[in-house]
Amino acid sequence: MKQKLILIAGPTASGKTKSSVQLAKRINGEIISCDSMQIYKGMDIGTAKVTQEETEGIPHYMIDLLDPSEGCNIAWFKDEVEKAIKTIAAKGKIPILVGGTGFYLNAILFDTQFDETEEDTSYRKELEALADIHGVEYLHNKLKEVDPTSAKAIHANNVKRVIRALEYYAQTGTPISSHNASEKEKRAAQVSPYNYQFFALDMNRQTLYNRINLRIDQMLEEGLVEEVRHFYDVGLPEDCTSMKAIGYKEFFPYFRGEMTLDACVDKLKQNTRHFAKRQLTWFRHQSNPIFIQVDQLSFDADAIVNEMSKYLQNIVD
């Protein structure tokens, strides 16, 4: 029998936190955050991390696991989420995954295999050096030799992806294009190890953008700039994984005296709106969830959960 699982996704300010807590209370569930930035300690305001009060006593997993100086990749993240799913299931409760990008959610839902077990970065550094010495076309030609399909799909200027494809071939002896094709077929066939239901919270675009702007204004009042400044002051580099998060990277130019605070805030709002749009596009074309129009339900958590309940007979029975 497949493990039961519920996923609730949606852009920021769509009501995921309240709705997921109410659903967990109703169906005897526990919550796993799939926001890859909420795993970092101290990154609270910018990630809209659930507060102790907001949990209403419902256990939450995948929060505050790492120091912001530590790296995190999707293979590790997926493994930790799977451990949390097993922990919750062992209690006789239903795991509820909340938040995250479509890419991360699909990886969990369809058990994507990344084969990222090797931590040796020496080959990557060798490839980076080759690109510096001989140029990006040299690397791209190396990729053509071992994986012409990937070489056709990846532009030579996208050095990071070219190197990743060469790394994958060196580690596994298999072209990454073959691996990706296999995973795509699995998703297309909706083959999942879980008995799941996937919900995406949606709303009118202008309403969404207005709520995002208001959410960011609220974060600023709560001390977002001071939160990010702390990480800047302790010397966290702008290119580390945690500081690449939306809500953090936008303020580094302000701290360096390169942009005004207002300009950085405007950039943050723009980036958040664009990210929300990309998320919803992904859900529509990749994940095939059930969309819940939360604006038509007045953003009321109980009404949202009532709507979800119509699709959960095979999960909660």
Token match 């799977």: residue? 82
17 is an annotated ligand-binding site residue: yes
10 is an annotated ligand-binding site residue: yes
E strands, the chain, are 3-9, 29-33, 60-61, 94-98, 194-202, 290-293
Rg (CA), the chain: 21
CA distance 205 to 251: 26
Please, are residues 66 and 39 in contact by the beta-carbon 8 Å criterion?
A: yes
Please, are residues 96 and 29 in contact by the beta-carbon 8 Å criterion?
A: yes
11 is an annotated ligand-binding site residue: yes
Token match 């071992």: residue? 146
125 is an annotated ligand-binding site residue: no
Give the containing element (helix H, strand E) for 131: helix 122-134
**Long-range pairs for 298-303: beta carbons < 8 A, 24 or more residues apart:** 299/15, 301/15, 301/18, 301/19, 301/21, 301/22, 302/22
Q: Mapping DSSP to helix (H, G, I), strand (E, B) and coil, where does residue 186 land? A: helix
47 is an annotated ligand-binding site residue: no
Both structure tokens of 81: 């989420």
CA distance 144 to 151: 5
**Long-range pairs for 283-287: beta carbons < 8 A, 24 or more residues apart:** 283/9, 283/102, 283/200, 286/102, 286/106, 286/187, 287/9, 287/102, 287/105, 287/106, 287/109, 287/198, 287/200
Burial (CB count within 10 angstroms: exposed 0-12, middle 13-18, buried 19+), residue 309: middle
57 is an annotated ligand-binding site residue: no
Token match 């967990």: residue? 24
Residues annotated as binding site?
A: 10-17
Query: Residue positions in the annotated binding site for ATP?
Result: 10-17
Indicate the annotated binding residues for substrate.
Answer: 12-17
